[in-house]
Amino acid sequence: MGDRITLGPVFWIAQATMLMLTAAVLWLDIVTWEVLGVPLIVFGIGGGMLIFLTATTTGKLGVGTITAREWTVASMGLILIVVVNVGLSWLFAVPMDVGPSQATNFFERVLVNVLFAIYEENLMLGLFSAGKAGNIPDAYLVLGASLLFWPLHAWVRGLDLLFSAFLIIGRCVLTGLYAVSDHSDPSYLTHILWNVVNS
């Protein structure tokens, strides 16, 4: 919508949480460095660097608070993702879970799923911010993010047609939240909450 994106408190908390959760899942031996290293470096840190490069070179990113508007947008995003998941599950009798993990209990799955939501949102916000700085229309950014997000999950779970549909639609919703709100927090909140629910 606008040409500037606000980085809210959820974004900043997510950055600190990402570092603590990365250390925790490695220390607790929930996930190995071989599994975690590439997502941490490319998605988490690389996406974060892209966000800050965009902020410092273009002025297209600002810092702000989270208001009722952003909470409402996040709620609508979560409802949309749940509707898509339930709809696909009901139509085709296939659960659309996050995918297999080395985590063996609920607590471990929550840690891993929240961590990967933050990694993915860092990458997607970084790409979205860079696209906004390059004056690429929001519709192209939403579609491009979906097409990139889809194959990233190939290593998590085999990509069948239904899971692919869920990933593409789900990423459209999450990236669409950036476009609608011009704010970081609705997408981070929605993705983190969705991954907790899926745990």
Cα angle 10, 186, 134; round to 5: 100
- The residue among 35, 12, 45 whose CA lies nearest residue 112 is 35
pLDDT in tens, 30-53: 989 988 998 899 999 999 999 999
Which residue ranges make up each domain of the chain?
Answer: 5-198
pLDDT tens, the chain, 199 aa long? 567 889 999 999 999 999 999 999 999 999 899 889 988 999 999 999 999 998 888 877 889 999 999 999 999 999 999 888 888 777 766 655 544 455 568 889 899 999 999 999 999 999 999 998 888 999 999 999 888 887 776 655 556 667 777 888 888 999 999 999 999 999 999 999 998 988 7
Mean of the per-residue pLDDT values of the chain: 86
Q: What is the pTM of this model?
A: 0.89
183 contacts 8 by C-beta, under 8 angstroms: yes
Tokens found for residue 174: 């999450």
pLDDT (0 to 100) of residue 155: 58
pLDDT of residue 73: 95
Measured CA to CA in angstroms, residue 52 lies from 61, 107, 174, 176 at distances of: 8, 32, 20, 21
